[in-house]
Structure 1
Amino acid sequence: MSEKQGLKIAIIGSGSTYTPELIDGFIRLRETLPVRQFMFMDIDDRKRTIVGELCIRMLREEKMDSEAILTADLDEAVRDADYVIIQIRVGKLPARILDETIPPKYGLLGQETTGIGGFMKAQRTIPVMCHIADRVRELAPEAFIINFTNPSGIITEAVMKHGFKRIIGLCNVPINMTASVREQIPDGELTMDYVGLNHLSWIYHIEQDGRDITEEAIRQGVKSERMNNIPPSDLDREITAVAGAVYSPYLEYFYDREHKKKHNLDSGKCRGEECMEIEEQLLALYSEKTLCRKPELLNKRGGHRYSEVAVNLVHDLYNNTGNVNIVNVRNGDTLDFLEPDDVIEVACAIDRDGAHPLPLRKIDNTHIKTMMETVKEYERQTVNAGLTGDRTAALRAMVVHPLMGDYTTSQKCLDEMLSANQAYLPQYKF
């Protein structure tokens, strides 16, 4: 691709109501990220049309002359693409609702990215993602896949272990965490060390003007920004002190699990049902032909700074900047307590060849390392089960995960969830 020709961007799962946020980012960086063509691909005709037409209006309002094509054809979308951004939800929101409502029947937390709910989302998603990766390898071998599909780290690792290496996993949590710490410590030059797995991460070292202020920041109650999709906890200050680090909001499902389970039971609606209502409200707004920009209601979803993360990464890959982004990548020799093929979430330098993990300050926090080792073993077995349909691997994943553990309970819940998701699990034998 020459600069004169411009880029071809394929957005797989373009019917997502987050897509206008993504297009807003491309508009923002139009001067240094020339896009010749957007391919809006989704198997849901209604959502692809409504969301895609809003995105086209946004592009025209800003006088961007990028071609925009709406399609249900995966091959058409990815052929000769430069970047393939994937944000799919296999089974759509009704499947998420099952992930959140079946586990409480067995005394387990129902959540879409962690625990047994996150496990089942991964099982539905891995076969589809591997198929997409195969088509990209065939039709656009130089393209990078930018994966936003949750659970992002697990999905990225599965695709890599399937044999596709040009994939980088993304999440908006790291940028929200680091930005919120900067807001709470506004003076001086601030540097932070971030480490973890997707939705299991910490800022474990903070310096201000070259001085280590980690313990001071923890004493002062510095914490991560709240997320709209996670019920708040009043224990964050105490938990931060125990963890010895600023932690991802998703870790409250581990640190404050009984409160989270009770909240889910008492709320009357699971988050998936709330998202279904918000999505329909958004689609109604998007259908208004006079709307030419993303609406404020979009901020009620959990994707704050979504466009900033995704488009900045594409920008840095294309422009060979060497800028630092926190992404999900192969570990290699970055963390000596994990395996080389494990996918981790760390700061990386970005250039045209991909994401390169930066050296990390020594991690003396054994709490962080132990949690990462434990949950990573769950992720390895989840990937194994997702690729092969091995029920033994599935149960190995569950009995090691801190939110599950009990074999009998896990087995019974797994049986019901596999049965409920049978239509989306071609790798399993029924």
Structure 2
Amino acid sequence: MKKPLKIATIGGGSSYTPEIVAGFISRYQDVPIKELWLVDIEAGREKLEIVGALARRMVEKAGVPMQIHLTMDREEALKDADFVTTQLRVGLLDARIQDERIPLSHGAIGQETNGFGGFMKALRTIPVVLEIAKEMERLCPNAWLINFSNPSSMVTEAVHRHSSIKCIGLCNVPIGMQRSVGEVIGDEDFFIHFLGMNHYVWGKHIYHQGREITQEILPKIIEHESTKSVVKNLKPIVWNKEFVQQLGMLPCPYHRYYYMQDDILHEELESFKDGKTRAEVVRGVEEALFEIYKNPELNEKPAELEQRGGAHYSDAACGLIRAIYTNSQEIMVVNMPNNGTIGILPDDAIIETSAMITSFGPVSLKASPLPAPAQAEILLMKTFERLTIEAAVKKDYNIAIQALTINPLTKHGAMTRVIFNELLQAHKPHLSGWQI
């Protein structure tokens, strides 16, 4: 029998933590975790203690011998860990609010992982995750890093390019897409082959009962998604049916930012006029969740957590850890090195795709080529991502501007610099090494 595991969760005071604890409890027979270390920083101490107490009640109710440790000492948590998960948010929700409000104040899209918001989050997050990776090289060099800190693709690629640590990225968007397709089809006998990048992924092929049904099912999925949003932070703005049919693939919800930019911006500006961004809505949801978590009688993951955008990230991480640990060779959607899967991208570029999960990592499935327009889009977006990583590592203003100037959501001429400069000032405490 394999030895019991030690797992460290960085950002342990997150509102998502009850989901990851529930996921580990439900998989305990396959993944015998002896120690789960929840790690946070001083600013997150109160939330860590609240969520840690709930985690202990959950474990006690389940009757599994899993020890819950709470700590501010990251090195103590990482020492001899078998798996490390990252669900951190540098600057907390206050930083996200700035990421959204500042661009919107200039009439540009303000969003957590796309455009200026995703770019700034990458600048803050990549250096911190690389610090964690360097500590892992010393304290647990054989551990897997399972990253679901956004922007997941860029963070995962930064680790692959600047560290020897084994790292896989995750996103809950494909999970939401699968659920949506399942609701349309009406049963579970289907498979979606995903191909693309994080928040820029397509359902390349949809198979049902031994047939590919992509073209015939697309109109029904579009109709379904016109009334029900796949992700919490995006209103179900209706796709143009003819456009999607011509595309020949199922776009992810975040493609609306690129394919329907004016519609998305209009929605965001209307909300902004009313005085609230999505980040401020989320802060209210979080405050309500932590009030629920404080209840000493609560000993399970509350249903209200489903209302938090990003639900199912943590459970997916538990499933991925199980798949690696047991060498289950099941198919999951992950962020992993391209290795020839998308011919137009470098082998070391991180893509999001369906892959078989083994004890030595993910093995991608062979994919037919993307249509020419999609190839052009993905090459542009991957170039943006790689420049962003370079800017984050080198803390280079000019490389940052180069990245922003090629992204369709941030290419605003002189205004690009104005917005970026304001964001740099707003995030100065979390951008050490930048000349601001």
What TM-score does the superposition give when structure 2 sets the normalisation length?
0.94
Q: Distance in 2 between matches of 1:394 and 1:293?
A: 44
Is the 8 Å Cα contact of residues 193 and 361 (structure 1) preserved in structure 2?
A: no
Q: 3-state DSSP class of the match of 2:15?
A: coil
User: Could you tell me whether the CA contact under 8 Å between 2:388 and 2:400 is conserved in 1?
Assistant: yes
Displacement of 1:260: 1.7
Matched, 1:286 2:290: no
The SS at the match of 1:220 is: helix
Q: Residue 409 of structure 1 aligns with which residue? A: 415
Shift of 1:35: 0.5
Which of 248, 253, 257 is the matching residue for 2:252? 248
The match for 1:260 is: 264
Pick from 393, 396, 421 the counterpart of residue 390 of structure 1: 396
Task: Answer whether contact 1:127 1:426 (CA < 8 A) is retained.
Answer: no
SS in 2 for 1:102: helix
Shift of 1:105: 2.3
Aligned to 2:408, the other structure's residue is in SS state coil
Q: What SS does the corresponding residue of 1:288 show, helix, strand or coil?
A: coil
Number of corresponding residues: 427
Distance 1:182 1:258, change over 3 A: same
Deviations 1:14-50 (A, max 9, x none): 1000000111111111111101011010111101100
Instruction: Specify every segment of 5 or more residues in structure 2 that has no aligned partner in the other structure, as ranges.
Output: none
Shift of 1:238: 4.9
Q: What amino acid does structure 1 have at the position aligned with 2:326?
A: N
Match for residue 109 of structure 2? Answer: 109
Q: Which amino acid aligns with 1:9?
A: I
Q: Alignment RMSD, CA only?
A: 1.6
Instruction: Mark the CA change 1:230 to 1:164 in structure 2 (over 3 Å): closer, same or farther.
Output: farther
Q: Is the 8 A contact 1:127 1:387 kept in 2?
A: yes
Query: What's the offset of the Cα at 1:255?
Result: 1.9
Which residue of structure 2 aligns with residue 28 of structure 1?
26
Match for residue 84 of structure 2?
84
The residue aligned with 2:379 is 373
- Matched to 1:16, the amino acid is S
Query: Which stretch shifts more, 51-60 or 214-223?
Result: 214-223
Aligned identity (percent) is 37
Specify the code of the residue in structure 2 equivalent to 1:57. R
SS at match of 1:344: strand
2:326 paired residue number: 319
Distance change in 2, residues 1:164/1:426 (3 Å) = farther
Equivalent residues of 1:192, 1:204 under 8 A apart: yes
How far apart, in 1, do the equivalents of 2:10 and 2:209 lie?
Answer: 43
Q: CA deviation at 1:242?
A: 4.5
Q: Does 1:348 align with 2:355?
A: yes
Q: CA deviation at 1:51?
A: 0.8
What is the CA deviation profile of residues 364-397 of structure 1, one whole-angstrom value per residue up to 9, with x for unaligned ones?
x222212111111110111110111111111111
> Greater CA deviation, 239-248 or 170-179?
239-248
Judge conservation of contact 1:124–1:424 (CA < 8 Å) in 2.
Answer: yes
How many angstroms apart in 2 are the aligned matches of 1:221 and 1:39?
Answer: 41
Aligned partner of 1:140: which letter?
C
Q: Which residue is 1:186 aligned to?
A: 186
> How far did residue 298 of structure 1 move?
1.0
- Cα distance in 2 for partners of 1:289, 1:295 equals 13
1:88-237 equivalent positions in 2, closer than 5 A: 88-186=88-186, 189-222=189-222, 226-235=230-239, 237=241
TM-score by length of 1: 0.95
SS of residue matched to 2:116? helix
Contact kept? 1:192, 1:207, Cα under 8 Å: yes
Note the alpha carbon deviations across 1:372-429, whole angstroms, 9 max, x for none: 1111111011111011111111111111111122331111111111111111112412
Secondary structure class of the residue paired with 2:13: coil
Quote the offset at 1:358 in angstroms: 1.8
Cα deviation, residue 236, structure 1? 5.6
Whole-angstrom CA distance in 2 between matches of 1:372 and 1:91 = 29
Give per-residue Cα distances to partners, 1:161-215, cap 9 Å, x unaligned. 1123401000111122123213312369433321111011111222333333222
Distance 1:427 1:340, change over 3 A: farther
Deviation, structure 1 residue 308: 3.0
Q: What SS does the aligned partner of 1:329 have? A: strand
Equivalent residue, structure 2, for 1:9: 7
Quote the Cα distance in structure 2 between the aligned partners of 1:90 and 1:188. Answer: 38
